[in-house]
Amino acid sequence: MDDGNVLGSMANEECRIDSIAQSWSVISNAGDNDKKYISMESLENHLVDRENGIIKLLDPPFEKGKLNPGYIKAYLPGVRENGGQYTHSSCWVIIAESILGFGDKALEYYRIINPIEHSRTKEASNKYKVEPYVIPADIYGAGNLAGRGGWTWYTGSASWYYMAGIEYILGFKIKNNTIKINPCIPKDWKEYEIKYRYENAIYNIKIKNPEGKNKGVTKILVNGKEIEKENGIKLEKSANIYNIEVIM
């Protein structure tokens, strides 16, 4: 902090761990290789709350400690940024797990924070209390409010959630007018399909996982012809159909 005090350390009474530091050590590629895995394991142990279906931002929440991190301490412990789920950071957890190749965990966490999972029963709906069809900015994470949704219709988190699913789990990215496919999926997914339209062209993409892998593409075929997988698939505007087969 500005006064030299350390935040996010095992020595702290409050906020011993913060999700953003853990995830972004992976996403930014700034973390040492072994510490990336250790940091994500710590996140899983301390911040993933399966009982309430949330991935917390930090833990323990700020309450009575001497450190003053700013406005978030004004929230009750477990509310919004003060130890609740802040959904931006939950999406970053999924992205980090995908980058590390943990496809089973990535999908598990994707499902955990899906609003529909908070309304499968009347009891769950009564606890969640907000719309099950839109992404919330936050979900409360402590005490008798744990699991209650906060500010909904949050487009920032919705965008990150969409990106985590499409680009990092399904592995479908477009960059420089080129399709790149690099999935990170559960081992028991045998295949899935993506249909994509660009201008007048149709791309029918089938990803096959015969060896039960989480990550790693072996070859890509376009209309039956193998291409250099590193180069990706250049988008065309012409009214053609491209049948693409991706073998993991």
Which pLDDT tens digit goes with each residue over 62-76? Answer: 998 888 888 999 999
Asked if 154 contacts 80 with a C-beta cutoff of 8 angstroms, the reply is no
For residues 229 and 117, the model is more confident at 117
Domain termination residue (choose one: 169, 199, 222): 169
- Placement of tokens 């955990």 in the chain: 112
- Single pTM value for the model: 0.94
Q: Would residue 29 count as lying in a domain?
A: yes
Whether the pLDDT of residue 227 is over 90: the answer is: yes
Q: What percent of the chain has pLDDT over 70?
A: 100
Determine the average pLDDT of the residues in 33-45.
94
Q: Would residue 11 count as lying in a domain?
A: no
pLDDT value of position 66: 86
- Give me 44's structure tokens: 């899983």
Q: Would residue 194 count as lying in a domain?
A: yes
Closest of 167, 180, 19, 18 to residue 98, by C-alpha = 167
Same domain, 96 and 148: yes
Same domain, 59 and 131: yes
pLDDT value of position 230: 87
Confidence band, pLDDT 50/70/90 cuts, at residue 9: confident
Domain ranges, residue 163: 17-169
Closest of 222, 223, 239 to residue 178, by C-alpha = 222
Give the three-class secondary structure for 157. helix
Largest CA distance in the chain: 65
Asked if 24 contacts 99 with a C-beta cutoff of 8 angstroms, the reply is no
Confidence band, pLDDT 50/70/90 cuts, at residue 3: confident
Same domain, 184 and 161: no
Which pLDDT tens digit goes with each residue over 137-169? Answer: 999 998 888 999 999 999 999 999 999 999 999
Alpha helix segments (H runs only) across the chain: 19-27, 33-47, 87-100, 103-112, 122-128, 155-163
pLDDT value of position 210: 97
Asked if 63 contacts 77 with a C-beta cutoff of 8 angstroms, the reply is yes
Q: How many domains does the chain have?
A: 2
